């Protein structure tokens, strides 16, 4: 019976973490779609950097809330003090695992479960950041390509000659 309770507790914690991560990522994507103007042609270095910093900061806040979820459980079942519960949760979630605090034998299997969950959630977050940066680069490349097609119909050389850049009419040959 005791193993079933521990298994259910671990399953609930993992599922709640997944729900928090999914909802957080969905909210970030929705925010980006809503607040990033479609008419911005080019972000530029500073604007793109600010965007990535904002997303990264929000993702760190999301991970801290997930760590806090686990810490609440550890405080409830394993540790007397919030500081110990939070510290253990941070070291487990981030897979640092110093080992200076350990869970009671009844709950010790949850430490590795939190570590595995933390690694997976960090991977999901990293993939979202990668997708954002990739989209920023693609947007700039698309705009550069559009600009290259907007060249003038003729160019003037330094010596005054004019060269047409328009395509010539097709010549029919018999």
| Per-run averaged pLDDT (10 residues), the chain, 174 residues | 88 98 94 69 75 92 98 96 97 92 93 96 94 80 70 58 54 58
Asked, for residue 133, whether it belongs to a domain, the answer is yes
User: Which residues neighbour 166 within 8 Å (Cβ) at sequence distance 6 or greater?
Assistant: 153, 154
The pLDDT assigned to 136 comes to 77
Among the listed residues 53, 83, 73, 69, the one whose alpha carbon sits nearest the alpha carbon of residue 21: 69
Q: What was the pLDDT predicted at 47? A: 80
pLDDT at 125: 96
Read off the tokens for 111. Answer: 């430490």
Instruction: State the pLDDT at residue 97.
Output: 87
Separation CA 104–CA 91 (nearest Å)? 16
User: Number of C-alpha atoms within 13 angstroms, CB side, residue 25?
Assistant: 18
Distance CA 132, CA 113 (A): 29
Q: Is residue 39 part of a domain?
A: no
Q: Is residue 70 situated within a structural domain? A: yes
Flag whether 120 is in a domain.
Answer: yes
Residue 58 belongs to a domain with what CATH number?
1.10.287
Task: Give a yes or no: residue 66 inside a domain.
Answer: yes
Can you give the pLDDT at residue 135?
80
- Helical axes 82-93 vs 110-149, angle rounded to 10°: 60
Inside any domain, residue 48? yes
What pLDDT sits at residue 75?
A: 97
Q: Residue 93 is encoded by which pair of tokens?
A: 């979630």
At residue 155, φ and ψ (nearest 5 deg) are: -125, 145
**164: in domain:** no
Please give the residue range of the domain that contains residue 80.
2-28+44-146
**Cα separation values, 132 from 42, 43, 94, 97, Å:** 14, 12, 23, 31
Q: What is the number of domains present in the chain?
A: 1
pLDDT score of 2:
83
Residue 154 lies in a domain: no
């Amino acid at each position: 019976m005791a193993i079933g309770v521990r298994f259910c507790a671990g399953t609930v914690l993992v599922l709640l973490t997944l729900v928090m991560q999914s909802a957080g990522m969905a909210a970030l994507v929705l925010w980006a779609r809503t607040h990033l103007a479609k008419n911005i042609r080019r972000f530029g270095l500073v604007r793109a950097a600010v965007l990535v910093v904002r997303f990264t900061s929000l993702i760190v806040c999301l991970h801290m809330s997930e760590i806090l979820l686990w810490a609440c459980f550890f405080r409830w079942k394993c540790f007397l003090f919030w500081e110990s519960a939070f510290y253990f949760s941070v070291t487990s979630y981030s897979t640092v695992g110093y080992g200076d605090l350990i869970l009671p034998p009844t709950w010790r299997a949850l430490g590795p479960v939190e570590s595995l969950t933390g690694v997976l959630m960090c991977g999901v977050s990293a993939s979202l950041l990668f997708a954002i940066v990739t989209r920023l680069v693609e947007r700039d490349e698309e705009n550069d390509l559009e600009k290259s097609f907007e060249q003038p119909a003729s160019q003037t050389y330094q010596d005054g000659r004019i060269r047409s850049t328009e395509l010539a009419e097709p010549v029919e040959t018999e």
